[in-house]
């Protein structure tokens, strides 16, 4: 007896179903805080958030870990005529981490980027001044466990510069914490020596931008960053006073 013939349904399962979205930066920060609370090596860390998008996440992480919060201003050096393409990035007082692959593709040299670099240094100084109140100075990182937090990775230029800059301050250890990023960029950071805590390592083919992984992804105002830093510092002082009493 012959078997009945049939036409199978064509089923297409997108790899995107493996991943999830975050309602907001605050929600992503809470996810990171849960992951970091289980990290086996962190001891009395300092949480360093990258403004502006990383600050709401850093606030949530610092609150959960009962850790002080600080900010690290990182500036990208955009390609001539293509400002969105990062040829490099730096922190104030730190060396530039160059993206040689982008520079080669665009046939630009460091000399071509000198004027842009100087403009970004001036902008970084202004941004640093705007983000900090007089009673929230930078926290020394030497000998400390440091958690660098941002709202996600794309090319990783900003985080690579942040990691390099923090490493030069001789911390005890550095953990990079992000909710989402492409697999290739995650691997690049780990090759640099970063201990990476990442909720979702997304296949590169399905990653176009950090914002695609958030239901709400508005710009974070400078004033909000400043206020979150002040709130975190006040909470730390109150917590310290309670312990002392």
Range of 42's domain? 20-73+133-240
**Ramachandran region, residue 93 (left: φ > 0; alpha: ψ -120 to 50; beta: rest):** left
In a domain? residue 95: no
- As a whole-number percent, the residues of the chain with pLDDT over 70 amount to 91
In a domain? residue 79: no
In a domain? residue 195: yes
What is the 3-class SS of 93-132, one letter each residue? CCCCEECHHHHHHHCCCCHHHHHHHHHHHHHHHHHHHHHC
Domain of residue 187, CATH code: 3.40.50.2020
pLDDT in tens, the chain (245 residues): 444 443 343 333 344 558 999 999 999 999 999 999 998 778 889 999 999 999 999 999 999 999 999 999 999 999 988 888 899 999 988 889 999 989 999 999 999 999 999 999 999 999 999 999 888 899 999 999 999 999 999 989 999 999 999 999 999 999 999 999 999 999 999 999 999 999 999 999 999 999 999 999 999 999 999 999 999 999 988 876 555 44
In a domain? residue 67: yes
Total domains, the chain: 1
In a domain? residue 69: yes
How does DSSP classify residue 196?
E
* Sign, Cα dihedral of 153, 157, 161, 167: positive
In a domain? residue 13: no
């Amino acid at each position: 007896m012959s078997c009945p013939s049939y036409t199978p349904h064509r089923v297409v399962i997108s790899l995107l179903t493996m991943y999830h979205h975050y309602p907001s930066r605050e929600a992503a920060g809470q996810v990171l805080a849960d992951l970091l609370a289980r990290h086996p090596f962190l001891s009395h860390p300092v949480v360093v958030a990258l403004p502006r998008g990383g600050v709401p996440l850093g606030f949530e992480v610092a609150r959960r870990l009962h850790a002080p919060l600080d900010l690290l201003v990182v500036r990208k050096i955009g390609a001539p005529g293509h400002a969105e393409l990062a040829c490099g990035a730096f922190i104030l007082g730190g060396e530039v981490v160059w993206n040689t692959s982008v520079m080669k593709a665009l046939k630009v040299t460091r000399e071509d980027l000198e004027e842009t670099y100087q403009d970004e240094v001036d902008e970084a100084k202004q941004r640093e001044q705007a983000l900090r109140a007089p009673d929230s100075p930078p926290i020394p990182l030497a000998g400390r466990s440091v958690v660098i937090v941002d709202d996600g990775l794309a090319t990783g230029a900003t985080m690579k510069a942040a990691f390099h800059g923090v490493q030069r301050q001789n911390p005890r250890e550095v953990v990079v914490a992000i909710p989402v990023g492409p697999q290739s960029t995650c691997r690049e950071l780990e090759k640099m020596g970063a201990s990476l805590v990442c909720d979702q390592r997304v296949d590169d083919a399905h990653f176009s931008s950090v914002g695609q992984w958030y239901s709400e992804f508005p710009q974070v105002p400078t004033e909000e960053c400043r206020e979150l830093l002040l709130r975190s510092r006040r909470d730390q002082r109150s917590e310290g006073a309670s312990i002392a009493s």
